[in-house]
Amino acid sequence: MPEERIDHIDFDELTKNAISQPLVSHIYTADPSAHFFNGKIYIYPSHDIDAGEAFDDLGSHFAMEDYHVISMDSIDSKAVDNGVALHVDDVPWAEKQMWAPDAAQKDGKYYLYFPAKDYDGIFRIGVAVSDTPIGPFIPQPLPIKNSFSIDPAVFEDEDGSYYMYFGGLWGGQLQRWRTGQFNTEQPESPTAHIPEDDEPALLPYVARLTNDLLEFSEKPKEIQILDSDGNLLLAGDNDRRFFEASWMHKNNGKYYFSYSTGDTHFICYAIGDNPYGPFTYGGRILEPVVGWTSHHSICKVEGKWHLFYHDSSLSKGVTHLRSVKMTELEHLNDGSIKLISPYKE
């Protein structure tokens, strides 16, 4: 991941022109997964720190160690940091890199899903349980069986089924699982094992969760993202193909799978008729933010859809020191989503 070219940016001007400001500024937060639980907003972000790791294309500088849950009584109220909800030292199987998490609620229990590298350097996805939305969360001793890669997003459908969407390229290791086994060749290369430009792009995965929300109830399946002719998006279609940051929301009976395009920095969406897809590419939701990564969630609050996202404006462009923000998101009458520009011209 090349450092953002930031020498030309006037950050005072950028902050003035930003459509929204960081929800909290005493710590750095990113990858916000927002939920409306019991009439309040709960945001489950990554907690960005500067751990002194050198910048590289595998994202080693994203060396996060814990999670904090941010809560808000309403859309206009102050965002509250509820302290450490889970620390890597308390997760027996996890060594490092607590990346983008998500959460779910069922029968009065709360579940925090998180990717981390195990002691073999392989990303797995774990789950930790609490009696409250803000934790502390008690981790399961082992990661979810058959889990791999990063960026879990858990979606509760209207029939009470829960599904996890996940996957991420480069440092997220999805390309190393093409045969079903973790490919250890060329360990330092973020792009080894990525398909050629004219081959179908790598796809994110989905798996339904068991009733206790602690395991997959099925083998994870790839979800297809198609163009308007019904063809899979190609690996060279960097402006549209999936890279990381899965999210699912449902509006007017349609399933909206949204994601980041990574190296082209867009948040895009694709629409389907059921949780497994296929999904047809629909367009962009968010133009690039300052910083390399873009990662979001979409949540209905007080009857209106909101986009939760992040940028690196508070840290003046430091890629791994990001801040969570929020803005309204609009579904247009034709089913499309109105494009959001994070900074006014």
For ligand FUB, the binding residues (CB under 6 A) are 30-31, 46, 62, 99-100, 150-151, 168, 244-245, 293, 295
DSSP 89-141: GG-TTEEE-----EEEEETTEEEEEEEEEETTS-EEEEEEEESSTT-PPEEPS
Residue (45 or 133) nearer to ligand FUB, CB: 45
Nearest one of 46, 4, 62, 24 to 295, comparing CA atoms? 46
Q: Residues 48, 102, 244, 311: which is the catalytic one?
A: 244
- As given in the structure block, the two tokens for residue 3 are 């450092």
Separation between Cα atoms, residue 89 and residue 128, nearest integer Å: 13
> Closest approach of Cβ 31 to ligand FUB, in Å?
5
Strand partners, 105: 110
Residue (4 or 151) nearer to ligand FUB, CB: 151
Vertex 171 angle, CA 170 and 174, to 5°: 60
Residue (139 or 168) nearer to ligand FUB, CB: 168
> Closest approach of Cβ 327 to ligand FUB, in Å?
18
**How far separated are the first and last CA of the chain, in Å rounded?**
26
Distance of CA 165 to the CA centre of its chain: 10
Residue (162 or 247) nearer to ligand FUB, CB: 247
Q: 22 by DSSP, 3-state: which?
A: coil
Is 244 in the active site? yes
Q: Residues 4, 31, 151, 237: which is the catalytic one?
A: 31
Catalytic site residues? 31, 244
